């Protein structure tokens, strides 16, 4: 009898079970048409191609097809080619990325920003690192937080408490149950994409400040859409300065790809948050930040 593991059989059985559970997904194949947002070609399983309208895109403003955005991408490629050529710690920081980070920090009225390959990775990396770096850290997480935040919090190994969605009284109760001298982070979103509701950011900051906690706000579904400069709900509500770290994506209203975290750089005598986050392995070991993204994203942000 052959005793080797039969990987094919294992995965076929997993897929069969997923189908039995009704959890097996199929995805339609769409080809976006530059300049005709939100139209796309649907390449059907029957080999037929049909023109469809996509109303569920996260490219909320069609910036991924805006002519100025596309032109900026072309310019960036013509000037510097594609790819970064390596990670920051091996072959230097990409000049366009530094410009983009400066612009993102300015957008959120923060001292510094760091870009990542996606919003998902920025949450995983930032929360995972912050929770791990501060001994005894406790993270308070909204019950409806995005999976990437949950994974980051898990990865940090920090003790965590889940507060009822948008419930500041519950948050206060939970925070009161933890020793005052333990470092605390309150992690939440501004616009919750599944229900479309918005967090009471000022009230959450009130509770966080009362307990001396840092605040970590995911503005993924708000940047580009809310606030006079498109910095999100915190800007709209005039509370950006009260939020310690703002995380967002370049892949939704900005129409491109990538994620970032913006926050305090602090004075030279204090630890710089940007440098702390630079210790994140997933940030340092990824070469996949595309140079063209900088051109696209910067153009999208300037309303190009």
Ligand X SMILES: Cc1ncc(COP(=O)(O)O)c(C=O)c1O
Binding site for ligand X (CB under 6 A): 118-120, 123, 146, 148, 189, 193, 218, 220-221, 249, 251, 259
User: Nearer to ligand X by C-beta: 137 or 251?
Assistant: 251
Q: How far is the CB of 130 from ligand X (least distance, A)?
A: 16
User: Nearer to ligand X by C-beta: 112 or 258?
Assistant: 258
Q: How far is the CB of 219 from ligand X (least distance, A)?
A: 9
How far is residue 164's CA from residue 239's CA, in Å, rounded to a whole number? Answer: 22
Calculate the alpha carbon distances from 276 to 132, 134, 173, 261, 263 in Å.
Answer: 11, 11, 30, 12, 11
213: phi > 0 → left, psi -120 to 50 → alpha, else beta; which? beta
In the complex, residue closest to ligand X by CB: 119
252 is catalytic: yes
3-state secondary structure of 89: helix
47: phi > 0 → left, psi -120 to 50 → alpha, else beta; which? left
User: Nearer to ligand X by C-beta: 237 or 247?
Assistant: 247
Which residue in the list 110, 184, 252, 298 is annotated as catalytic? 252
User: Nearer to ligand X by C-beta: 172 or 226?
Assistant: 226
Name beta bridge partners: 246.
Answer: 217, 262
Q: How far is the CB of 190 from ligand X (least distance, A)?
A: 9
Q: How far is the CB of 278 from ligand X (least distance, A)?
A: 20
Answer for the pair 199, 242: CB distance below 8 angstroms, yes or no.
Answer: no
Q: How far is the CB of 273 from ligand X (least distance, A)?
A: 19
Residue in the block written with tokens 């870009």: 115
How far is residue 158's CA from residue 36's CA, in Å, rounded to a whole number? Answer: 47
First to last CA, the chain: 66
Q: Which residue from 210, 191, 214 is spatially nearest to 144, judged by alpha carbons?
A: 191
**Is residue 250 classed exposed, middle or buried when 0-12, 13-18 and 19+ CB atoms within 10 A define those classes?**
buried
Name beta bridge partners: 142.
Answer: 163
Which residues are catalytic, by number? Answer: 252
């Amino acid at each position: 009898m052959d005793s080797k593991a039969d990987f094919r059989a294992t995965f076929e059985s997993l897929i069969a079970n997923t189908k039995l559970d009704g959890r097996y997904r199929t995805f339609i194949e769409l080809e976006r048409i530059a300049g005709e947002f939100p139209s796309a070609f649907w390449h059907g399983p029957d080999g037929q191609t049909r023109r469809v309208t996509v109303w569920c895109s996260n490219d909320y403003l069609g910036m991924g097809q805006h002519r100025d955005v596309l032109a900026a991408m072309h310019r960036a490629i013509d000037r510097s080619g594609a790819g970064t050529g390596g990670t920051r710690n091996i072959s230097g920081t990409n000049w366009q990325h530094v410009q983009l980070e400066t612009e993102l920090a300015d957008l959120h009225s923060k001292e510094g920003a760091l870009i990542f390959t996606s919003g998902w990775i920025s949450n995983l990396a930032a929360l995972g690192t912050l929770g791990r770096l501060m001994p005894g850290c406790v993270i308070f997480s909204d019950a409806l937080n995005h999976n990437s935040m949950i994974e980051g919090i898990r990865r940090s190994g920090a003790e965590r408490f889940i507060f009822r969605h948008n419930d500041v009284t519950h948050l206060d109760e939970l925070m009161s149950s933890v020793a005052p001298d333990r470092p605390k982070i309150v992690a939440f979103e501004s616009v919750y994409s599944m229900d479309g509701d918005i967090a009471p950011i000022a009230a959450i900051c009130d509770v966080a400040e009362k307990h001396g906690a840092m605040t970590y706000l995911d503005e993924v579904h708000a940047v580009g859409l809310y606030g006079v400069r498109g910095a999100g709900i915190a800007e709209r509500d005039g509370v950006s300065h009260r939020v310690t770290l703002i995380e967002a994506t370049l892949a939704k209203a900005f129409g491109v790809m990538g994620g970032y975290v913006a926050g305090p750089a602090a004075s030279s005598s204090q630890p710089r948050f940007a440098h702390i986050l630079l210790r994140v392995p997933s940030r340092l070991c990824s070469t996949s930040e595309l140079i063209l993204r900088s051109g696209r994203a910067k153009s999208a942000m300037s309303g190009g």
